[in-house]
Chain A
C-alpha cells in the first residue's frame, strides 16, 4: 500500500543552521503516526514542511506515491493536508458555527446579494460536532467559552468535515490538563476511524502511546528511531525519546548534586 504522505531523506537548512537532516517518514491512511521529540528537535520545521510553509532543501515529498511541491500552505490545504496549530486554531470571540465554517462559508443567493446560509451552517456544525461526540446546546456561543480541549476538538472535527486526507496536529495536548487531553485524544481516534492519516506531533510519549500506530523519534534534527506499535513498550519509547544515555548521565549528575 502506498503511504498517504511520505518524506524521503528530507533535509532543511536555514542559512548555516541545519534544522533537519535526512528525515524519512511514512504516514498511512487510517493510522496515527506520532512524531516525538524534545524541544529543539526539529518538530516545528517538520510540521512546516508537511503543511507547505517551508520547502525542503533536499529530499522527496510524496503524496499517494506522487511527488508534490507546495509553494504555499493554501496549496497544501487544497491537496487535503489540514494542520491544526496549538493556539492558532480558532478565534475565541467568534461563535462556534462561525469558527467551524470560517474560510468555507456556505452561501445562498447570487452575485452581490450572496449571503451566509446561517441556518444551514448552525445545523450542520451542531450535527458534525455531535457525530464527533461533542454536544453543544448552542453553537451561537463564542468558542472562547469552551475549554481548551473542546476547542481543539472542534478544530479537528472541522478539518475532518472539510475532507482532510492528512491531519497534522501540532502539540494538541501540551497546554491541556489530563481530562482535557483525554478529550482531544478521543477525537484523534475518531479522525483515524474515518480513514484520515493523522500526524500527531508531541513531546509527550504517554499521549503518543495511547493513540499511536507508529512512532518516529526526532532528536537534534535527526530521525533516531522508528517503532511500530507492536514492537515497542511505553518505557522504551520514553527512554529512547529522552536520548537514553543522556537520561542516565542526567540521573547520575542529579545524584551527585544530592550527595554533596
Chain B
C-alpha cells in the first residue's frame, strides 16, 4: 500500500508562494508603502525620525493591543463591537473605584480586569447559548454600556467626567508601569509601545504555537468539523470573547492613568479601528484565517496615517476618508493575493 506515486502536476511551492500565503504579508507591504508615502510627502522632515516615530507609535499602540485580540476572536469566527466602549467603561470604573470608594490603584485595576472578563464571558455566553450573531449581541452590549457609562458617571459625579485618579494610593507605581514615557534619542516614547509589542508576541505565540491556537483556527474555519474532531468550540469562543474584553480593559486602565481622568463618552467608535486593523492585517472576516502580527501592523498603518496626514499638511479632516480607502485597498489586495497563493484550491 505504501507505493506512493508522486503527482507530476504538483509543482514545488516556491519561497515566494509561501511568503504570499502568509496572512500578514500584505499588511507588512502596506505598512512599508504607507511609511514611504508619508516620509516622501512629509513637510516637517521628522516623520521617519525618532520624534515622528514616537508620535505615530503612540497612536498605534493602544489600538494594536486590543486589535491583536480582536483579530484572534475574528479568526475564531466571531465579532466584538463592544471593545471600544469597554475602554471607556473600564476607565470610568477605575476612576469611580478610586474616587468614590477610595480604593488604591492596584485593587481597582484587579477589580476592573475581573469586571472586563465578566462582560466578555457574558458576551460569549449569550452568543453561544442564543445562537444569535455576535455582531448583534455585542452591538447590544455596546449600547447598554454606552448608556450606563453616561448615567452612572453623572449619578456619582454630577458631571460627564471622572477626574482626580492620580490622587489614588500607589498611583505613581501603576503609572510608571502603564503610562510612563521613555526617552530614547531625544524623543519620548510611550511605555504602551512595549505592551503593544509584548501582547502581539503573546497573541502570535498563542495562535500559532499552542493547542488553543489550533482550536481558534478550527472553530472559525468550520465549527462543525472542529466539533467532530473533538475541539471544544464553545469553550474556545467564550475564551476569545473574554480575551478581547480584557485587552480593552487593559487599554482603558492605561488611558485613565495617563489622562488622570476619563470622559463618559470615551471609546465610542474605536471598536471599528480594531476591526479595521485586524482586517488590514489579513484576518478573514468569515474566520479561519489571520494573524496577530498582521493586526499589529494594521494598527501601525493607522498610527502613521494619523500623524502623517498633518505632517504632510493635508486636511486632517480627511483622516477617516484616508483610513477607509486603506481598508478597502488592503482587503482587496489581501484577498487577491490570497486567492493567487491558494490557486488550485477547491471549494
Contacts and interface: CB of A to CB of B under 8 A. Distances in A.
A138 interface: yes
Interface string B329-347: 0000000000000101111
Contact of A89 (B214, B228, B345): B228
Contacts of A130: 2, 4
A85 B228 contact: yes
Interface in B11-39: 12-13, 18, 21
A103 B231 contact: yes
Nearest to A189: B1
Max chain B Cβ within 10 angstroms of own Cβ: one of A114, A145, A189: A145
A116 interface: yes
B318 interface: no
A182 interface: no
Nearest to A115: B209
Nearest to A84: B228
B214 A190 contact: no
Given A92-B222, A102-B226, A133-B4, A116 B346 contact: no
A90 B4 CA distance: 22
B207 to A, nearest CB: 11
Contacts of B7: 135
Interface in B299-347: 342, 344-347
B246 to A, nearest CB: 16
Max chain A Cβ within 10 angstroms of own Cβ: one of B214, B228, B230: B228
A134 interface: yes
Nearest to A187: B1
B225 to A, nearest CB: 5
A18 interface: no
Nearest to B228: A88
A246 interface: no
A104 B230 contact: yes
Contacts of B3: 133
Contact of B230 (A77, A94, A135): A77
Interface in A224-257: none
Interface in B182-198: none
B230 A103 contact: yes
A258 interface: no
B209 A93 contact: no
B230 A144 contact: no
Contacts, number: 103
B230 A74 contact: yes
Interface in A45-97: 73-74, 77, 83, 85, 88-94
B221 interface: yes
Interface in A106-144: 107, 114-116, 118, 130-135, 137-138, 140-142, 144
Given A88-B224, A93-B217, A94-B218, A141 B288 contact: no
Contact of A193 (B1, B225, B288, B342): B1
A91 B226 contact: yes
B229 interface: yes
B342 A102 contact: no
A134 B4 contact: yes
B19 to A, nearest CB: 12
B210 interface: yes
Contact of A144 (B12, B214, B218, B346): B346
Contact of B2 (A91, A116, A131): A131
Contacts of B213: 116
B289 interface: yes
A102 B229 contact: yes
A98 B221 CA distance: 12
B59 to A, nearest CB: 32
A36 B275 CA distance: 49
A44 interface: no
A245 to B, nearest CB: 39
A118 B209 contact: yes
Contacts of A89: 225, 228
Max chain B Cβ within 10 angstroms of own Cβ: one of A77, A93, A131, A148: A93
A105 interface: yes
A130 B230 CA distance: 24
B230 A115 contact: no
A136 to B, nearest CB: 9
17 contacts: A73-B228, A85-B228, A91-B221, A92-B221, A94-B221, A102-B218, A102-B231, A105-B214, A130-B2, A133-B1, A135-B5, A135-B6, A137-B10, A142-B342, A144-B345, A190-B1, A193-B1
Interface of A: 73-74, 77, 83, 85, 88-94, 98, 101-105, 107, 114-116, 118, 130-135, 137-138, 140-142, 144-145, 147-148, 186, 189-190, 193
Interface of B: 1-7, 10, 12-13, 18, 21, 205, 209-211, 213-214, 217-218, 221-222, 224-226, 228-231, 284, 288-289, 342, 344-347
